Amino acid sequence: MDFKTAEAKINDLRNLLNQYGYEYYVLDQPSVPDAEYDRLIRELIELEEQFPELQSSDSPTQRVGAAVLEMFEKVEHRTPMLSLGNAFNDQDLRDFDRRIRQVVGDDFSYVAELKIDGLAVSLKYENGAFIQGATRGDGTIGEDITSNLRTINSIPLRLKENVTLEVRGEAYMPKRSFEALNKGREERGEELFANPRNAAAGSLRQLDPKIAASRKLDVFLYGIGDIGTTGIRSHSEGLDYLDKIGLKTNKERKKCANIDEVIEYINGWVEERPNLAYDIDGIVVKVDSYEQQEQLGTTAKSPRWAIAFKFPAEEVVTKLLNIELSVGRTGVVTPTAILEPVRVAGTTVQRASLHNEDLIREKDIKIGDKVVVKKAGDIIPEVVNVLAEQRTGDETEFLMPTHCPECSSELVRLEGEVALRCINPKCPAQIREGLIHFVSRNAMNIDGLGEKVISQLFAEKLIEDVADIYKLTREQLLALERMGEKSVTNLLEAIEASKGNSLERLLFGLGIRLVGSKAAKTLAQEFSSMDRLAEVSKEELTAINEIGDKMADSIVTFFEQEEVKELLNELKEAGLNMEYLGAKPVSAEESDSFFAGKTIVLTGKLEVLTRNEAKEKIEALGGNISGSVSKKTDLLIAGEDAGSKLSKAQELGIETWNEERLLEELNK
């Protein structure tokens, strides 16, 4: 066969196989037997091997073929993947409806969709070809899992139209795949996955795509990241468009004229939920019109135009076998119920938080009781109540201890608190939990120093406080179990890199009582250095809007301790940065910047700055960043592929800049 004939044959086979795959995996309406599909795939593989120059990444033969990865690269989402607010009953939904009406009036409709219980993903297509897939991550930064997503047959490697767009959806494991996976793991003596959601997430985070391929995952796409110039005006139109170009959406959606129709739709699925071939954990309700979505805008965490109705928690009965105690980073002693294992909302539950002694007394919980257990929000197990009528007389009352279960120091109950607390600063449990907090993502963010490694280092007495982390040697780490040359090198590099963090990360990592990450940044911005902060008075602290009396007392007390002074000196000697490295914000009154007091919207892809960098620079000059365009917007900064926000700004006559103009102003 000559080259031209082979090229034509290969293109015909790819088109035919893509169509058959779409019918099988997306429409669930196969038009040919599996044997015929397999025969055509073999023929295509042979031709591509014979003419390697005709191989293509979007060929049906390239589902699995990537090399094993060493790690996942980070991916920044151009449009943040926000989480949704929750509704738990009809009143929550009606309150949501009332808030919508207050902004957009009565002329609008909803789209109600099944909330798939899986892993949120983003897929990017360029000129119709699938080029990248990523996890949601923290909503702004996700992980590149392209190789694993390519193994999902319902994700087309080439669309029916040569469009460039980003779509969002949920990758999930069908119940049938989950049962087959766990059956195989059981036969091999491996630990079983708790539920399909965990199994899907674990599969997509495998570094070997062949493992992901073997798990038989699926996907439903539920939205477009940026509608761009498609002309689509509503969410329902967007879903129809995804269907048209060959992407798989969930057909159980319904357009609803009002909140009563939404509630009727939800009630129907409360009953039908068990009959689905996949798990759902609720219903997502969205305002249909994109224009009205823009009008409603978003909060920092979630859109105001959408809400997730969570199904009523499944309740089961089991026996409370014991109550164990744990000591947290701040010394709070928390009781935990140890339960006879029981299945709740898809997972086996053996532990449930009891929060504090007052709750145990209020619910009259005794060891040996039959108790009703549910998962709050389908996630956190909790004891709902006791079945006192089933008591046999063998139950025993639980008494909270007077001394710490870890260090035997006397426990205290601080004024105004319900929790018992160990106030011994040398308590091993507090030290261990404090170390785990110090290295966490929002604190010093040291990759490779997770909870297990910290516990191992602490048990081996290699670290006793956070300063010891910076004294660890290669020899010490190599002597630990499951620590090889590469992981040790990566860990030591991550520890070294953390020394350059800005002051607010170190402040948060030190675990000052009542000081969260936001307060830590405020303190760092206000006082600039650790030395200055260590000397401030309560009056200076409470002069800051965000700092109240209790937090101020906690900060002053923290820096007065001799142990803290010694620790900070050790950290300085280890080379840790003690200065605030970010731009110090100024008020609109103080700033003579163009941005001072103005409301600014960022949209599209910036080339020189990331969106977060641009946001920080503008806010540091007294500007306010908004997520949506309205009549109150003073300026829109548009990068590449700016979509509906740019169109709306132009309609409203709002001043618009490109990135070059932004950089010019920032450089002034």
- Output the domain CATH number for residue 17: 1.10.287.610
Active site residue 251: no
pLDDT, position 298: 87
Domain annotation covers residue 129: yes
Nearest to 278 by CA among 252, 299, 245, 301: 252
Are 55 and 114 within one domain?
A: no
Task: Return the SS3 of 334.
Answer: strand
Note down the domain range covering 148. Answer: 85-310
Report the C-alpha gap between 665 and 668 in whole angstroms.
5
Are 351 and 296 within one domain?
A: no
Domain annotation covers residue 558: yes
Number of structural domains found in the chain: 6
pLDDT, position 647: 77
pLDDT, position 346: 65
pLDDT, position 69: 61
pLDDT, position 589: 60
Are 14 and 58 within one domain?
A: yes
Domain annotation covers residue 462: yes
Given a contact cutoff of 8 angstroms between Cβ atoms, the answer to whether 287 and 305 are in contact is yes
pLDDT, position 168: 95
- Final residue of a domain: which of 62, 77, 108? 62
pLDDT, position 171: 95
Report the C-alpha gap between 5 and 517 in whole angstroms.
64
pLDDT, position 627: 74
- Final residue of a domain: which of 438, 463, 498? 498
Are 433 and 300 within one domain?
A: no
**Segments in 205-278 forming alpha helices (H):** 209-214, 235-244, 259-272
CATH of the domain at 246: 3.30.470.30
Report the C-alpha gap between 63 and 330 in whole angstroms.
49
Catalytic residue from among 4, 74, 115, 461: 115
Domain annotation covers residue 80: no
- Final residue of a domain: which of 456, 482, 498? 498
Are 37 and 180 within one domain?
A: no
Are 512 and 654 within one domain?
A: no
Report the C-alpha gap between 641 and 603 in whole angstroms.
9
Measured in residues, the chain has a length of 668
Are 439 and 389 within one domain?
A: no
The residues of the chain scoring below 50 in pLDDT are none
Are 362 and 433 within one domain?
A: no
**Under 8 Å CB-to-CB from 94, ≥6 apart: which residues?**
259
CATH of the domain at 340: 2.40.50.140
Query: Which amino acid belongs to residue 249?
Result: T
